[in-house]
Structure 1
Amino acid sequence: MSQKPLQNYIPALTGVRALAAYLVFISHYFYVFDDVFPHIVQRFLGEMHIGVSIFFVLSGFLITFRYYNNFHLTKDWFRQYLKNRVARIYPMYALLTTCAFAYYFITKDPAITRGNDNPILLWVMNITFVRGFFYQFWDTGIAQGWSLTVEECFYFSAPIIFLIAKKYNKFYLQPIVLTAFAVVMVLIFSRVNWHGFFGNVPFVMLFTFFGRCFEFFVGVQLARIVLNKGFERTNKITYTYIGFILMMLCVLVMAFQPVPAGWAAGVESTTGIIVNNYFLCIAVALFFYGILTENTLFKKVLALPFVELLGKSSYIFYLIHLGWMYTLMHGYFDSLNDYAFELYDKWGVDWRSPFEFDKLNLLYAFIILNAISILLFTKIEEPLNHYIRRSNFLIKNKSRNPENESVKIN
């Protein structure tokens, strides 16, 4: 097989990361537009959590593309593999999670601990990712960080997935086994109620790797197809737009689902889980296949240098867009609003405050959070990533040219 078509850098896939992060942002703050849009539009925006599915499919694709044809389950190979993964994910997560708990000790904001009375234990559970297996703890600390537990489970599983697929030709059986394991665990632990460990079906299916594994396997299969066939195509099917339209149709279906008691969106209904976990990811894979093999306007926009930079910093944006940093920012906007009206009273004028409207404040927050993300990416995340890769952490460094962790196909 010729490797020439595979030696390409696809900036648009880096831009996709920004798109995914912004969709999640919309899903968390759609309520700001309650007085603008009809109810069904609000529900539609509330289901934009599909950005998480985009991340999962993309992770499955990228890890497979980078490692599937050259993995060796030796001690040195696995240590290097883990070193790369730690360098990419862990430093900023640990830093921002620690900041979240420092914020809790200063403010006692219950949003960080969700009413749990042992913040030190929660901090340990958060920085070790194990909180993601417990219904009682999954949204503590940086709430959206639950998805990193799912990602880490895939990272640890990927070499075994590759081995079973290549040596035993048992690729499609694996997600079935993992999902069956999740069902058995729920049947056992829903009766035990150990802090919600595998506590209920919606939680396990939506917030653990065992429930979400099919999305990663779809990404894995997409990479296997591209590794086998390359980026060249003979048909003229516009997979980019077909995939995107199908993604939006999945969102619409979830928007029409009744929201179960105690949950926040239609995705938590039975139909929502099925659509989100098993149909949406296929649409995402079609979208990615189009990005990889077509030259569309969508791809050109996602590949713009500024969008690419937003994509590189989107991991940090994802971690800070909801939680303590946004809460501080929102409080600061309220203070500025009060200060503006105090000035207007002194001046004897009846003006509007630039911080009077929630919609404008959300826009300000979006811009500021992106600026902070870019700053943290360039000054902390990227240098730490490179430092760890060049270090002797886990395994002695053998090269001064660490793997480029942008979305690079090589």
Structure 2
Amino acid sequence: MSKIKYRPEIDGLRAIAVISVILFHFNHHWLLGGFLGVDVFFVISGYLITKIIVTDIENNQFSYKDFYNRRIKRIFPIFISVMFFSSLIGTLIFTYQDFNTLRKGIEFSTFFSANIFFAKKQGYFDLDANSNPILHIWSLSVEEQYYLIFPLFLIFGYKLFRNKKIFFYLTFVLFLLSLGLTFIPDSYYTKYINIYYLSQLRFFELLIGSGLSFLPPPIQFYLKSQMN
């Protein structure tokens, strides 16, 4: 599995995104729109993961097994800790109904489908959302679903056309399709209380990051210089 060069400016963006989300959850009046830090994370994730995957595919080194082994080693220690302590706290302070919702949320989170569960249960801005200790797992579920699907398109496209340009073309087409889904009226999603969490309406953000990873180095250098 390839490693990309450390990018301090990306860590800076991550820090800004984290702080904005934390401030928003403490008091949304402190930073209106702070929840958009999640969107920034999606773009960054799309950029980084595409860099790694494309490099491995071009070098004939990509392996789903290695890819997910690395993801599991990185995510699961923290993930399991969060689930454990959330369950522990839930048994002590939650009502039966709230704990049952928490339990189901943990079950869905284990299979990285928490976003689907929450889309059917509550909105991100609902009052009771602040008391759900695993609500933030929805974004991790979206990312993992993307990591499961996106490499398939890249691998298939590269094997079919044997041209590096296909990576960008596929990403652009997928971006247009995903962006188009956001224009479908809310009334279409009758099974969901809140479509804020749905992957198909979030993938375009990850695809923006994926698309940025294909920019020629001079353009990336220019963008970096403008940020410093």
Q: Quickly name the TM-score band, shorter chain normalised.
A: 0.7 to 0.9
Distance 1:185 1:87, change over 3 A: farther
Counterpart residue number, 1:89: 75
The reply on whether 1:66 has 2:49 as its aligned counterpart is no
Q: Contact 2:106 / 2:134 at 8 angstroms: preserved in 1?
A: no
Q: Contact 2:17 / 2:38 at 8 angstroms: preserved in 1?
A: yes
Q: Structure 2 residue aligned with 1:10, among 2, 7, 11?
A: 7
Q: Structure 2 residue aligned with 1:102, among 80, 85, 88?
A: 88
SS at match of 2:138: helix
Counterpart residue number, 1:20: 17
String of CA shifts for 1:64-102, please: whole Å, max 9, x gaps. 111213228x99811101111222223202211221111
Distance 1:97 1:116, change over 3 A: closer
Counterpart residue number, 2:37: 51
What is the deviation of 1:121? Answer: 3.4
TM-score between the two structures when normalised by the length of structure 1:
0.44
Aligned length: 207
State the AA in 2 paired with 1:52: V
Q: Contact 2:23 / 2:31 at 8 angstroms: preserved in 1?
A: yes
| Unaligned runs of at least 5 residues, structure 2 | 123-128
Distance 1:50 1:14, change over 3 A: same
**Higher CA-based Rg:** 1
In the TM superposition, 1:134-145 aligns within 5 A as 134=117, 135-137=119-121, 140-145=132-137
Counterpart residue number, 1:293: 224
State the AA in 1 paired with 2:31: L
Counterparts of 2:185 and 2:156, CA distance in 1? 22
Distance 1:7 1:151, change over 3 A: closer
Counterpart residue number, 1:30: 27
What is the deviation of 1:119? Answer: 4.7
Counterpart residue number, 2:210: 220
String of CA shifts for 1:367-396, please: whole Å, max 9, x gaps. xxxxxxxxxxxxxxxxxxxxxxxxxxxxxx
Counterparts of 2:85 and 2:206, CA distance in 1? 30
What is the deviation of 1:116? Answer: 6.5
Q: Contact 1:60 / 1:216 at 8 angstroms: preserved in 2?
A: yes
Counterpart residue number, 1:122: 105
Identity %: 19
What is the deviation of 1:209? Answer: 1.9
What is the deviation of 1:160? Answer: 2.1
Q: Contact 1:13 / 1:291 at 8 angstroms: preserved in 2?
A: no
Q: Contact 2:46 / 2:207 at 8 angstroms: preserved in 1?
A: yes
Counterparts of 2:222 and 2:93, CA distance in 1? 45
Distance 1:21 1:107, change over 3 A: same
SS at match of 1:70: helix
Q: Contact 2:56 / 2:62 at 8 angstroms: preserved in 1?
A: no
TM-score between the two structures when normalised by the length of structure 2:
0.74
Q: Contact 1:126 / 1:141 at 8 angstroms: preserved in 2?
A: no
Q: Contact 2:51 / 2:213 at 8 angstroms: preserved in 1?
A: yes
SS at match of 1:129: coil
The reply on whether 1:150 has 2:81 as its aligned counterpart is no
Distance 1:186 1:102, change over 3 A: farther
State the AA in 1 paired with 2:173: L
Distance 1:7 1:178, change over 3 A: closer
SS at match of 1:219: helix
Counterparts of 2:5 and 2:139, CA distance in 1? 29
Counterpart residue number, 1:210: 200
After TM superposition, the structure 1 stretch with the greater mean CA deviation from structure 2, 171-180 or 85-94, is 171-180
In the TM superposition, 1:221-260 aligns within 5 A as 221-225=211-215, 229-230=216-217, 232=218
